[in-house]
Chains A and B, each alone.
Chain A
């Protein structure tokens, strides 16, 4: 069997008494696009942050190309992070610098590119997400929600990363803009030949971008399979989630008055 690009083995993470990830296993092959669905607060973001080293898992191992990266520090960690691109849920654009500097941040800061070249590169990448060079001169505060996501996407792909993470790429967008972002993600990932991991609770988005869909529940991946099979998963948890039913095995901790 071929070696997975990214592999999580028995990853556990708890905050105080709350167990968020409970021995999570996940393999993603090179060039594959995997979408992990799951309710709010089930630990989807925690999973991504453990891989990136923003959170330290309590137990378990994480591998990229078979190489363990779980406990890398300092320069080793930075070197590894250059192979990743991440689209944050709220964009997480740096609001003290202009849009083009945001897009070119990885190029300037991590690769030491000259300002003039970086500006040209930033304009090219902005064009790839459907934004004109004039947007580059704006401040992030002047952007609309859809534009913020596009700029954040541009920043994530600017350094040609091998692995791309998308954290709720369509949250807070209208359905049309959400579809535009989904298409951009599919195009850009294919264009880069990158491996992609998306977390979302938007089923339309999941169906559009996924080769395989997995569901995170109770700190584990309870089902994973080809995107086309999601309707016939035979898993009551998955069925309840994708049809958005309040009744089912997943009980929401909502107090009824």
Chain B
């Protein structure tokens, strides 16, 4: 007798699988946050992670911000030119960079760099039994490995995005003054005239949230990887993909619910 695939059973299986994943992630999240706030703290690991997330991501984030700011100015110039409003270019560039593109693009770049690195490193530690060894040496892996990573990313992302905001705006300025013949001082003046503190601050808050998400996904996927080199590869891919999607979804949710003004 051949079995006929039952669509209802497939939907059920997929739903149960999804719910199990959400549950596992929730437990992981709770244990990670618990570890961030309970001693012992490993300051050496904390510092190393902050360097790796913050300092070593600077070139990547800076370059993307520079190009993004420049291309944004170029497009807005074309768009606003259609109704003779080219004078608004600096204002819109600042608005777009600080509120949206700064945090989102920087976080996506860091997700590609840092989530992947975390997943690969923790995944390798998992499959070579280093995480088990840590436990048998009476050291909680959540405190020793996970907490420093998540804390580092959550704290360093706002700093990175602040720098990326500045470089992005300067990218727009660079293009506008060299290619589009804007007056340098006038451009900078207009950039600042309509900028509100909240534009920058809301972007930095988002950056913190995205930093938390991207490190959580990197750690979760790596920590739970199995099955040798292939498993580590899968964990790395899943970390970057899930971090990127969650960052974009969270961005929409936070912007439309919290930052509506």
Q: Chain A: residues with CB nearer than 8 A to chain B? A: 49, 52-54, 78-79, 81-82, 84-86, 88-90, 92-96, 105-106, 109-110, 155
Contacts of B185 in A (CB 8 A): none
Report the Cα distance A216→B257, complex, angstroms.
Answer: 59
Q: Is B197 an interface residue (CB 8 A)?
A: no
Residue from the list A52, A85, A89, A93 in contact with B135, Cβ < 8 A? A52
Contacts of B14 in A (CB 8 A): none
Contacts of B132 in A (CB 8 A): 49, 52, 54, 88, 92
Main secondary structure of the interface of B (DSSP, over half): helix
Residue from the list A53, A79, A92 in contact with B133, Cβ < 8 A? A92
> When the two chains form their complex, are residues A90 and B138 in contact, meaning their CB atoms are under 8 A apart?
no
Interface contacts beyond A79-B138, A81-B135, A81-B137: sample of 6 additional A-B pairs, CB < 8 Å, sorted by A: A90-B129, A94-B133, A94-B134, A105-B139, A106-B137, A106-B138
Report the Cα distance A51→B121, complex, angstroms.
Answer: 27
Contacts of A90 in B (CB 8 A): 128-129
Query: Nearest B residue to A161 by beta-carbon distance?
Result: B136
> When the two chains form their complex, are residues A54 and B130 in contact, meaning their CB atoms are under 8 A apart?
no
Q: Is B57 an interface residue (CB 8 A)?
A: no
Contacts of B125 in A (CB 8 A): 94
Q: Is B88 an interface residue (CB 8 A)?
A: no
> When the two chains form their complex, are residues B138 and A81 in contact, meaning their CB atoms are under 8 A apart?
yes
Q: Give chain B nearest CB distance to A248 CB in angstroms.
A: 31
Q: Is B140 an interface residue (CB 8 A)?
A: yes
Report the Cα distance A49→B133, complex, angstroms.
Answer: 11
Please provide the chain B residues from 128 to 153 with a CB less than 8 Å away from any CB of chain A in the complex: 128-130, 132-140, 144
Query: Nearest A residue to B129 by beta-carbon distance?
Result: A92
Q: Ordered nearest first, which 5 A-B pairs have the shortest CB separation?
A: A92-B133, A92-B129, A110-B138, A78-B138, A81-B138
Can you list 24 pairs linking A and B with CB atoms under 8 Å apart?
A52-B132, A52-B135, A52-B136, A54-B132, A54-B136, A78-B138, A78-B139, A78-B140, A79-B138, A81-B137, A85-B136, A88-B132, A90-B129, A92-B129, A92-B132, A93-B130, A93-B133, A94-B125, A94-B134, A96-B121, A105-B139, A106-B137, A110-B137, A110-B139
Q: Give chain B nearest CB distance to A192 CB in angstroms.
A: 16
Which residue among A53, A92, A93, A110 has the maximum number of chain B CB atoms within 10 Å of its CB?
A92
Report the Cα distance A106→B133, complex, angstroms.
Answer: 10
Report the Cα distance A92→B128, complex, angstroms.
Answer: 6
Query: Nearest A residue to B143 by beta-carbon distance?
Result: A109
Q: Give chain B nearest CB distance to A165 CB in angstroms.
A: 8
Report the Cα distance A96→B117, complex, angstroms.
Answer: 13
Interface string of B135-178 (1 = CB under 8 A from A): 11111100010000000000000000000000000000000000
> When the two chains form their complex, are residues A105 and B129 in contact, meaning their CB atoms are under 8 A apart?
no
Query: Nearest B residue to A83 by beta-carbon distance?
Result: B138
Query: Nearest B residue to A90 by beta-carbon distance?
Result: B128
> When the two chains form their complex, are residues B135 and A94 in contact, meaning their CB atoms are under 8 A apart?
no
Report the Cα distance A49→B128, complex, angstroms.
Answer: 15
Q: Give chain A nearest CB distance to B135 CB in angstroms.
A: 6
> When the two chains form their complex, are residues B129 and A89 in contact, meaning their CB atoms are under 8 A apart?
yes
Contacts A90-B128, A92-B128 given; indicate if A109 touches B137 (C-beta within 8 A).
yes
Report the Cα distance A49→B137, complex, angstroms.
Answer: 13
Report the Cα distance A223→B139, complex, angstroms.
Answer: 36
Contacts of A53 in B (CB 8 A): 135
Contacts of B138 in A (CB 8 A): 78-79, 81-82, 106, 109-110
Report the Cα distance A89→B132, complex, angstroms.
Answer: 12
Contacts of A54 in B (CB 8 A): 132, 135-136
> When the two chains form their complex, are residues B139 and A86 in contact, meaning their CB atoms are under 8 A apart?
no
Q: Give chain A nearest CB distance to B157 CB in angstroms.
A: 23
Report the Cα distance A209→B211, complex, angstroms.
Answer: 51
Query: Nearest A residue to B40 by beta-carbon distance?
Result: A109
Report the Cα distance A88→B129, complex, angstroms.
Answer: 8
> When the two chains form their complex, are residues A94 and B129 in contact, meaning their CB atoms are under 8 A apart?
no
Report the Cα distance A90→B136, complex, angstroms.
Answer: 15
Report the Cα distance A247→B236, complex, angstroms.
Answer: 44
Report the Cα distance A110→B144, complex, angstroms.
Answer: 12
Report the Cα distance A1→B48, complex, angstroms.
Answer: 54
Report the Cα distance A82→B129, complex, angstroms.
Answer: 18
Q: Give chain A nearest CB distance to B146 CB in angstroms.
A: 15
Contacts of B133 in A (CB 8 A): 86, 88, 92-94
Which residue among B129, B132, B136, B144 has the maximum number of chain A CB atoms within 10 Å of its CB?
B136
Q: Give chain B nearest CB distance to A160 CB in angstroms.
A: 13
Q: Give chain B nearest CB distance to A83 CB in angstroms.
A: 9
> When the two chains form their complex, are residues A109 and B139 in contact, meaning their CB atoms are under 8 A apart?
yes
